[in-house]
Amino acid sequence: MNRDYPLEKVRNFGIIAHIDAGKTTTSERILFYTGMTHKIGEVHEGDTVTDWMEQERERGITITAAAITCFWNPTYMGTDTSKKVRFNIIDTPGHIDFTVEVKRSLRVLDGAVVVFDGVAGVEPQSETNWRYADDGNVPRLCFINKMDRMGASFEKSFQSILDRLSKQAVRFQIPIGLEEHHDGVIDLLRMKAYKFEGSMGEKVIEMDIPADQMEEAKKYHHELVEKIVEHDDAQMHAYLEGKEIPFAELQKTVRKAVIGNKMFPVFTGSALKNKGVQLVLDAVVDYLPSPLEIPAVDGIDPRTGGPAVRHADDSEPFSALVFKLQSDPFVGALSFFRVYSGTVEAGSYVFNSTTGKRERLSRIVRLQANEREEVKQVFAGEIAAAVGFKEAKTSHTLCDENNPIVLDPIKFMEPVISLRIEPKTKADQEKMGLALKRLSDEDPTFRISTNTETGETIISGMGELHLEIMVDRMKREFTVEANVGKPQVAYKETILAEAEAEHKYIKQTGGKGQYGHVRLTLRPMKPLVEGKKIPKNVSRYDHFEFIDSIKGGVIPQEFIPAVEKGVKEATERGILAGFPMVDVSCELTFGSYHDVDSSEIAYKIAGSQAFQDAAKRAKPVLLEPIMRMEVVVPEKFVGDVTGYLASKRASIDDVGEQGMNKVVSSKVPLAEMFGFTTALRSMTEGRASSTMEFDHYEVVPPNVAQTIIESRK
C-alpha cells in the first residue's frame, strides 16, 4: 500500500501558550477553516472540539493534549491545490500542573505555533514552554492574539518576546487598528494588507496598505528584509548593492532560518474575532519543517549498546515513539505514537524494545479530536493512535524486531506533592486500584505507592490542581468515591553509635516453660566493599545485616533463625517515633539455653527485646528524605527564592545561568516543600518553575526531630 500523502506535504506541529492566551480558541478556528468542523466551538460556551473532557469544559482550561488531523490549502494559492498540506496538530495545556503534556508533545512535533495574549504579552508559562521547545530544538512561529481586547498592544507584546524569550523574534505582520478598531493585518514581507470578511472571517481579502500606516509598514519592511538577508551571504551582498531581492528567494531564506531555530516570525490577529488565523496557517506551510527537514532521530541498538539512527523514510526499518496513553470511552485504551521511520499496518505485530516484548497492533486510528477515523497503515513522519496494546507505556519505543532500536525516552519531572487516599466503601476499593493504575499509565507524573507501615495508598503529582483533577476523573470516569488526606513524608530511623544489650525471656506456666537468652551488639552498618565476599555467618539485606557469632553451641543452631526473625521484625518499628529502622548491623555474640524450656518463640521475643534495648543506647536518630531541587527563575526574583529556600533548611549549591533566567540548585528537606509550588508562583508572579527529585536521606536536626516525635505520640 502506498502513502496517501507525500511526506514533504506533512506538518506536525503543536499550539502552545500560557493559560488563557487563546490556544484552544485558535485551534477551533483552525478546525473550522480547514473544513474539519462546520461550526466554531467556543471555550466560553463549553462546546469546543479539542477540549472534550468534562473538567476541561467546566474549567475552561485544556488538560490533555488533543491530536487532530486536517488539511490546508494556502489562501494565496486560490483553487490551485499543488501546495495543499496535511496538518497533524496537537493543542496542549497551558496550566503549569499539566506541563508534562507540553513536554511530551514537543518531543514528537516538528514545529510549534506559540500563542501570546496581546494585552499580557509573554507570561510565565510561555517562558516554561519556550524553554521546553529550546530543549527540543523545535522551530517556532509566534502569534500575538487578542488584538481586539481592551488594552491590547502589539508593540508591547512583541517587545516582551524580545526581552524574555529570544532576540531572534522578527515582525512579519503588524495589526490594522487595535481594540475595537482592530480590522485586519499588514503582511510586511508581501507589503499587502488583509481583511477577513464573511460571518466567520472565512473570506480573506487582499488589499493595499492603508495610507495612514504606509510609513510604518515601509520602516518595518526594511527592518524585516535586513534580518532575513543576514542569513544568506549572496542576498546580503545584493541587498547592500541596493538590488531588489525576489520575494520567493526571501521566503526560502526565512524557511531555512526558521527550521534552523535562527528566526522566529511573529504574526498577529484575533482568533476570537476570526482575524489572522488563516495567514498563520499559510506560514506553517511556508516556514515550518516537514518530517523530511528535521534531523534524523538517534537511538541505541539494544543488541550492541552502540548508536543507531533512523531517517524519515518509508523504506527504513519501522521505529516509533509512544508519547501518550488515553482512555477512550468507545475503543478502550489509545496509545498515541509518532512514526520516525518505516511503515506499520493494522493487525501486525511490533516489537517494544523498551520492554523486550512483542505487541499486536490490532487497529490504527487517526483522531479529529473526539472523532476517529480508522486507517490501515501509517507511514514515516505521521502521528496516529493504536488500539490493542497491552504493555506499551508513554516513552516506549516500538520498532521492527529484526532491526531493534531504543529511542531517547521522554524525561518526566518527579512529582512534588503527595496525598493519602482511601476508598469510601468496600465496593469502591477494587475499582479504585483499577482507576489509579489507568490514570498513572496515562500520566507519567501521577504516581501511586503504598505506605508499608500503614497500608495506606499514597498518590503523588505535579501540584494541588493536578491531584484534584485526578481524584475528580476517578469519580467521573470510574465512579470511585474516595477520601483524601493531608500530605505525608516518609521518615526513617537509624543509629549513630555501638551499643550492647542482653535479654532473658523466661516464662513459667503450669506445664512446659519458655526460655530464651541472647546478647546482641548493634553498630551502624558499613557499606559493602566492592569485590569482598560476604562471610557465611552474615545475612545481609538492603538496609540491615545480621551476624551470627555464636561459639561452642551456647545457643543451639536451630534457634538462631528465630533470633534473626525477632530482630528483623523489631527494625520495622523504630524506638523514637515508630518509623522503620535502616542501616543497622546486629551481631549475636552470646546467650544460653534450657534443655526443656527453650523454644523458637522465646528466642524471637528475646532477640526483639534485646534489639530495642540496645537501639535506645546506640544514639538513635531520625532520617528525612532530602530532595535535589532546581528552580529556574528570572534574575529579579533570585534573592526572594534563595531567601525562602534558606528559611526552609535548604542548602544552596549553585546559582547558574539558563538563557535569560537563573537556575538555583539546592538540597532541601521534602518535609519543608509542601505548598512550595504555590509559594513559588506567588513570589515570582508565576514566572519560575521548579523540578525536584529524591537525592538521599539525612539526619533530622534535634529540634525538628523532637517536634516530629511528639506529634507521633
Rounded to whole angstroms, the Cα distance separating 280 from 595 reads 92
The angle at the Cα of 255, spanning 253 to 260, to the nearest 5 degrees, equals 95
The SS3 assignment for 163 reads: helix
DSSP string, 435-494: HHHHHHHH-TT-EEEE-TTT--EEEEESSHHHHHHHHHHHHHHH---EEE-------EEE
Please report where in the chains the cell 534563595 appears, as a residue: 642
Residue 101: C-alpha distances to residues 63, 160, 327, 346 (Å): 8, 25, 15, 26
- Residue 654 has, within 13 A of its CA and on its CB side, a CA count of 8
Question: What proportions of the chain, in percent to the nearest 5, are helix, strand and coil?
Answer: 30, 30, 35
- With CA atoms as reference, report the closest residue to 100 among 71, 75, 129, 142: 129
Burial readout 89-107 (b: 16 or more C-beta within 10 A, e: otherwise): bbbbbbbbbbbbbbbbbbb
Q: What is the dihedral of CA 73, 254, 115, 274, to 10 degrees?
A: -40
C-alpha cell belonging to residue 332: 478502550
Residue 470: C-alpha distances to residues 19, 94, 213, 291, 457 (Å): 19, 17, 51, 35, 14
394 neighbors 354 (Cβ within 8 angstroms): no
Known binding residues are: 17-24, 91-95, 145-148
Residues in the chain: 713
Q: In degrees rounded to 5, what are phi and psi of residue 433?
A: -60, -45
Known binding residues for GTP are: 17-24, 91-95, 145-148
Please report where in the chains the cell 524553554 appears, as a residue: 131
C-alpha cell belonging to residue 247: 520575494
* Contacts of residue 179, Cβ cutoff 8 Å, sequence gap at least 6: 147, 148, 149, 150, 151, 152
The SS3 assignment for 199 reads: coil
Rounded to whole angstroms, the Cα distance separating 102 from 689 reads 14
Strand partners, 694: 627
Rounded to whole angstroms, the Cα distance separating 380 from 116 reads 32
320 neighbors 397 (Cβ within 8 angstroms): yes
Rounded to whole angstroms, the Cα distance separating 422 from 111 reads 43
- Residue 371 has, within 13 A of its CA and on its CB side, a CA count of 10
- With CA atoms as reference, report the closest residue to 692 among 676, 679, 705: 676
Question: CA-based diameter of the chain, in Å?
Answer: 116
Rounded to whole angstroms, the Cα distance separating 22 from 16 reads 10
Residue 348: C-alpha distances to residues 97, 311, 326, 378, 601 (Å): 37, 22, 21, 12, 59
- With CA atoms as reference, report the closest residue to 160 among 657, 687, 691: 687
DSSP for residue 144: E
185 neighbors 267 (Cβ within 8 angstroms): yes
Helical pair 214-229 and 233-240, crossing angle rounded to 10 deg: 130
Rounded to whole angstroms, the Cα distance separating 19 from 469 reads 16
Question: How many of the other CB atoms lie within 10 Å of CB of 668?
Answer: 21
